[in-house]
């Protein structure tokens, strides 16, 4: 038996070092979990708006006005055929009753629609109320409004207070549900992959701890460094940690299993496994991390938060996968693999398995395989025809909460913009001129003066167009242009409809800036890893094609099967980033092995062997990552459902078609030119002939 390699990092999983590594991991993880605390979730409306947005300026100025300290609860009463005298008497009684809950002790009289079938009662509540108190107040309003109405009439609470309470209720417990479902999916797939009663527990446990540690690091940064996150950010970060972390674990365990067939000492086998797997894992994680970091350049605070939190999650995942997981695996020994424990001298079954046959079929007809693959991707991409981007506030949730139902009732009875009036703030000295100018803008139905101070004045502007439509956006632009032209007024326009426009413009800018940067990051990592211009460019083009096909298929499913009216603004950018950065992982795993094999067998045979020995682990990793992203569908936001579907389908497409057929076919067609200007023989490892690293996921 050869002695274990305990030099350098290998000492961490040597006979004595493994205990130290595990103890240090336990101490670090324990401190992080004990001291990290909870994330400070952003609730400031102004902080959630794009950087430099005019609507953000309005949100901040509102805080200087008395009305800016309020969060109105809008009680919407309705009855088919018109409200009765008894209904109206009940509504008047509610107006008197709710004065005890209202800020300032006053509730304005109810407003009735022209047809008399809908009434609106605005109950001003203090915006600074803690969420628990606000929730209790809104629930009381809902209960009392419904209890006092005659049979057949309806009462719904909407407005800022209603939306805030309903949003909190929808997300209540959602992150725990996400964690539980994600862990269950990962556990099931690991159990199927390894067919061992306990091996799956090790990667699941290590990555599960990494997920919680990453969450605590993010939590500390939300309180100390101003990192802005919301519930969806935390959910996406958790999915990234589990998805990427288990991918790295699959690759490492596969290489460890292969080395156990070569070395009878498990410590030496692990040292060889980490040494051979580390370059691909580090290149993969660097690609995802750097791609996520580009999001800090986004105007949208939510997107910036996802970038930073996600990068922290990936770094944590790769740290636990390369430093903690090896130590835990060697600590338990080869019995973890029972009943399929690898034995020294046992041949590698992957070299004659199904992926070897797939590789052989591709190498015999590379031109045909390329043509068929490209045709499939092109047909799927056609599904993007008629693409619509931009969901209104009422379209954000898969469940129709009461606040949304109430707003829809309000919109049907009053001018379309009544439920979400624009907020116009100007210098008090120019308020009358600004309001008169605003009233003359096409598309403006009503301008209602509001509160003022010695410095600023507010007015509410109702549009005739439905919020979120092109007509509403055009009216907002026209209104802004008109009031900006009033001398010395310093007028600004905000409110939900204006914020929707600002967010759409910011999303467009972010896509134009960040998508090319992500491609640049991926290209640079591939150039550094493969030292080949042709290989790097070819692989980048394949992931772009994969994204186009996934995006088209996703939109077709959303529009024609799920009935979603549009994609959310952030979906194109985030799905692009995740698909390109994560999808390139499998190309990295395949290409690095193909380069090693090409040094001995030539490019044509090398790519067949590479596909044979990487097929099992990459397919397992792809299925697992797709399943983890699909778990985002358990959260209530349509945005997360759309990201989960597009990325999940894209990863499967990349795993089954692009990596298994298209890339090997292109490599075969290009031959040695694929490695230009490099030479695969020059980059071969000196230990390549003595150490065979393979990614066979199954024994």
Instruction: Kindly report whether the peptide bond that precedes residue 339 is cis, defined as omega within 30 degrees of 0.
Output: yes
Residues 163 and 179 in one domain: no
Tell me: pLDDT of 699 over 50.
Answer: no
Predicted local confidence at residue 172, as pLDDT: 76
The CATH number given to whatever domain includes residue 450 is: 3.30.70.120
Lowest mean pLDDT among 191-200, 279-288, 322-331: 191-200
pLDDT tens digit sequence for 363-388:
899 999 999 999 999 999 999 998 99
Nearest residue to 463 via CA among 411, 511, 427:
411
Residue 45 in any domain: the answer is: no
Give the CA dihedral 201, 203, 205, 206, nearest 10 degrees.
Answer: 160
- Per cent of the chain over pLDDT 70 is 93
User: DSSP secondary-structure letter at 50?
Assistant: P
Predicted local confidence at residue 43, as pLDDT: 62
pLDDT tens digit sequence for 517-528:
999 999 999 998
Quote the CA–CA distance of 79 and 152 in Å, as a whole number. Answer: 7
Residue 53 in any domain: the answer is: no
User: DSSP secondary-structure letter at 14?
Assistant: S
Please, what is the Cα angle at 573 between 568 and 576, to 5 degrees? 120
Residue 63 in any domain: the answer is: no
Residues 567 and 471 in one domain: no
> How many C-beta atoms lie closer than 10 Å to residue 474's C-beta?
15
Nearest residue to 574 via CA among 649, 498, 643, 627:
643
Predicted local confidence at residue 574, as pLDDT: 93
Predicted local confidence at residue 45, as pLDDT: 66
Quote the CA–CA distance of 45 and 64 in Å, as a whole number. Answer: 14
In the structure, what pLDDT confidence band is assigned to residue 255 with cuts at 50, 70 and 90? confident
Residues 631 and 670 in one domain: yes
Predicted local confidence at residue 598, as pLDDT: 85
pLDDT tens digit sequence for 606-617:
888 888 888 888
Quote the CA–CA distance of 328 and 206 in Å, as a whole number. Answer: 9
Structure tokens at 128: 């600074």
Predicted local confidence at residue 308, as pLDDT: 93
The highest-confidence range among 41-45, 198-202, 289-293, 581-585, by mean pLDDT, is: 289-293
Residue 298 in any domain: the answer is: yes
Query: What does the H/E/C string look like for 377-400?
Result: HHHHHHHHCCCCECCCHHHCECCC
Tell me: pLDDT of 681 over 70.
Answer: no
Tell me: pLDDT of 685 over 50.
Answer: no
Quote the CA–CA distance of 273 and 348 in Å, as a whole number. Answer: 15
Backbone angles phi, psi at 204, to 5 degrees: -65, -45
In the structure, what pLDDT confidence band is assigned to residue 665 with cuts at 50, 70 and 90? very high
pLDDT tens digit sequence for 295-304:
999 998 889 9
Average pLDDT over residues 138-162: 91
Average pLDDT over residues 165-190: 82
- For residues 355 and 611, the answer to whether their CB atoms sit within 8 Å is yes
Residues 516 and 655 in one domain: yes
CA 440 to each of CA 216, 446, 465, 482, 602: distance values in angstroms, whole numbers, following the listed order: 53, 10, 15, 9, 75
CA 214 to each of CA 238, 381, 698: distance values in angstroms, whole numbers, following the listed order: 8, 36, 30
- Per cent of the chain over pLDDT 90 is 45
Predicted local confidence at residue 193, as pLDDT: 80
Predicted local confidence at residue 8, as pLDDT: 61
Average pLDDT over residues 342-350: 64
Average pLDDT over residues 513-540: 93
In the structure, what pLDDT confidence band is assigned to residue 342 with cuts at 50, 70 and 90? confident
Average pLDDT over residues 653-670: 92
Average pLDDT over residues 642-669: 92
Question: Where a domain ends, among 150, 171, 192?
Answer: 171
pLDDT tens digit sequence for 443-502:
999 999 988 898 999 999 999 888 888 899 999 999 999 999 999 999 999 988 899 999
Question: Where a domain ends, among 441, 472, 501?
Answer: 501
The highest-confidence range among 35-39, 336-340, 594-598, by mean pLDDT, is: 594-598
Average pLDDT over residues 587-613: 86
- For residues 319 and 209, the answer to whether their CB atoms sit within 8 Å is no
Its pTM stands at 0.85
Residue 61 in any domain: the answer is: no
Predicted local confidence at residue 698, as pLDDT: 37
Lowest mean pLDDT among 539-543, 567-571, 689-693: 689-693
Q: Look-up: residue for tokens 């991991």?
A: 25
Instruction: Render the burial of 5-37: b for 16+ CB within 10 Å, e for the rest.
Output: bbeeebbbbbeebbeebbeebeeebeebeeebe
Residue 603 in any domain: the answer is: yes
Question: Where a domain ends, among 142, 171, 200?
Answer: 171
Tell me: pLDDT of 11 over 80.
Answer: no
CA 1 to each of CA 265, 268, 341, 395, 410: distance values in angstroms, whole numbers, following the listed order: 7, 10, 19, 66, 80
Parent domain of 463: 402-501
Quote the CA–CA distance of 292 and 231 in Å, as a whole number. Answer: 18
Residues 122 and 102 in one domain: yes
| Partners of 51 in beta bridges | none
CA 324 to each of CA 191, 218, 278, 488, 523: distance values in angstroms, whole numbers, following the listed order: 21, 20, 13, 63, 30
Quote the CA–CA distance of 65 and 63 in Å, as a whole number. Answer: 5
Predicted local confidence at residue 688, as pLDDT: 44
The CATH number given to whatever domain includes residue 131 is: 3.30.70.360
Predicted local confidence at residue 620, as pLDDT: 85
Tell me: pLDDT of 535 over 50.
Answer: yes
Per the structure, how many domains does the chain have? Answer: 4
Average pLDDT over residues 542-564: 93
Tell me: pLDDT of 687 over 50.
Answer: no
Residue 620 in any domain: the answer is: yes
In the structure, what pLDDT confidence band is assigned to residue 663 with cuts at 50, 70 and 90? very high
Residues 308 and 449 in one domain: no
Average pLDDT over residues 181-196: 84
Quote the CA–CA distance of 697 and 194 in Å, as a whole number. Answer: 7
Residues 520 and 610 in one domain: yes
The CATH number given to whatever domain includes residue 630 is: 1.20.1640.10
Residues 301 and 357 in one domain: no
Structure tokens at 241: 């940690």
- For residues 526 and 541, the answer to whether their CB atoms sit within 8 Å is no
Residues 603 and 464 in one domain: no
Please, what is the Cα angle at 324 between 320 and 330, to 5 degrees? 145
Predicted local confidence at residue 635, as pLDDT: 75
Quote the CA–CA distance of 627 and 438 in Å, as a whole number. Answer: 51
Residues 566 and 615 in one domain: yes
Residues 22 and 115 in one domain: no
pLDDT tens digit sequence for 386-434:
899 988 777 887 778 888 899 889 888 888 777 778 999 999 999 999 9
Predicted local confidence at residue 684, as pLDDT: 47
In the structure, what pLDDT confidence band is assigned to residue 199 with cuts at 50, 70 and 90? confident
Average pLDDT over residues 165-182: 80
Instruction: Render the burial of 201-238: b for 16+ CB within 10 Å, e for the rest.
Output: bbbbebbbbbbbbbbbbbbbbbeeeebbbbbbbbbbbb
Residues 567 and 584 in one domain: yes
Tell me: pLDDT of 1 over 80.
Answer: no
Residue 539 in any domain: the answer is: yes
Mean pLDDT of the chain: 86
Tell me: pLDDT of 261 over 80.
Answer: yes
Tell me: pLDDT of 505 over 90.
Answer: yes
């Amino acid at each position: 038996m050869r002695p274990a390699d305990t030099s350098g990092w290998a000492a961490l999983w040597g006979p004595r070092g493994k205990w130290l590594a595990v103890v240090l991991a336990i101490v670090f993880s324990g401190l992080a979990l004990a001291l990290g605390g909870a994330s400070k979730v952003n609730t400031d409306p102004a902080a959630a708006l794009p950087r430099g947005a005019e609507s953000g300026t309005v949100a901040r100025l509102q805080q200087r006005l008395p009305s800016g300290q309020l969060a109105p609860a809008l009680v919407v009463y309705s009855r088919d055929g018109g409200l009765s005298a008894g209904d109206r008497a009940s509504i008047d009684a509610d107006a008197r009753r709710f004065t005890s809950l209202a800020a300032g002790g006053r509730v304005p009289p109810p407003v009735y629609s022209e047809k008399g079938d809908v009434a609106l009662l605005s109950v001003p509540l203090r915006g600074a109320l803690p969420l628990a108190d606000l929730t209790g107040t809104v629930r009381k309003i809902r209960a009392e409004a419904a209890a006092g109405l005659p049979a057949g009439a309806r009462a719904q609470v909407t407005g800022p207070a209603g939306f805030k309470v309903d949003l909190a209720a929808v997300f209540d417990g959602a992150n725990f549900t996400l964690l539980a479902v994600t862990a269950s999916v990962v556990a099931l797939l690991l159990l199927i992959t390894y067919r061992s009663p306990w091996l799956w527990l090790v990667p699941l446990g290590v990555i599960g701890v990494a997920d919680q540690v990453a969450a605590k690091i993010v939590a500390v940064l939300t309180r100390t460094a101003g990192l802005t996150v919301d519930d969806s950010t935390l959910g996406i970060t958790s999915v990234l940690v589990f998805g990427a972390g288990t991918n790295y674990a699959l690759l490492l365990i596969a290489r460890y299993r292969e080395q156990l067939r070569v070395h009878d000492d498990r410590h030496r086998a692990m040292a060889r496994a980490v040494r051979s797997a580390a370059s691909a894992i580090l290149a993969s994680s660097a690609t995802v991390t750097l791609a996520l970091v580009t999001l800090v350049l986004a105007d949208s605070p939510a997107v910036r938060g996802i970038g930073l939190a996600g990068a922290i999650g990936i770094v944590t995942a790769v740290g636990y996968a390369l430093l903690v997981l090896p130590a835990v695996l060697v600590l338990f020994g080869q019995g973890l693999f029972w009943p399929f424990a690898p034995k020294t001298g046992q041949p590698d079954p992957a070299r004659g398995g199904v992926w070897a046959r797939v590789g052989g079929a591709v190498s015999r007809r590379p031109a045909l395989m390329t043509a068929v693959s490209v045709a499939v991707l092109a047909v799927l991409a056609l599904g993007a025809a008629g693409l619509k981007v931009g969901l209104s506030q009422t379209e954000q949730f898969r469940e129709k909460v009461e606040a949304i139902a109430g707003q829809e009732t309000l919109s049907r009875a009053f001018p379309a913009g009544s439920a979400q009036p624009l907020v116009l703030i100007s210098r008090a000295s120019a308020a009358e001129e600004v309001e008169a100018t605003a009233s003359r803008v096409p598309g403006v139905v009503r301008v209602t003066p509001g509160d003022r101070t010695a410095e600023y004045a507010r007015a509410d502007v109702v549009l005739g167009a439905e919020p979120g439509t092109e007509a509403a956006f055009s009216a907002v632009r026209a209104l802004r242009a008109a009031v900006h032209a009033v001398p010395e007024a310093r007028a600004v326009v905000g409110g939900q409809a204006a914020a929707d426009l600002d967010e759409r413009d910011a999303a467009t800018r972010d896509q134009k800036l960040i998508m090319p940067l992500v491609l640049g990051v991926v290209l640079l990592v591939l150039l550094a890893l493969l030292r080949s211009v042709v290989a790097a460019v070819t692989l980048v083009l394949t992931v772009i094609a994969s994204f186009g096909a996934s995006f088209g298929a996703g939109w077709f499913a959303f529009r024609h099967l799920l009935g979603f009216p549009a994609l959310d603004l952030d979906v194109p950018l985030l799905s692009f980033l995740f698909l390109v950065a994560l999808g390139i992982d499998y190309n990295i795993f395949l290409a690095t092995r193909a380069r090693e094999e090409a040094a001995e067998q030539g490019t044509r045979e090398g790519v067949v062997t590479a596909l044979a020995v990487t097929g099992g682990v990459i397919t397992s990793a792809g299925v697992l990552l797709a399943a983890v992203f699909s778990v985002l569908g358990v959260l209530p936001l349509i945005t997360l459902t759309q990201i989960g579907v597009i990325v999940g389908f894209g990863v499967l497409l990349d795993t089954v078609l692009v990596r298994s057929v298209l890339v090997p076919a292109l490599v075969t067609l290009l031959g040695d030119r694929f490695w230009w200007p490099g030479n695969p023989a020059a980059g071969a490892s000196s230990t390549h002939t003595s150490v065979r690293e393979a990614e066979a996921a199954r024994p």
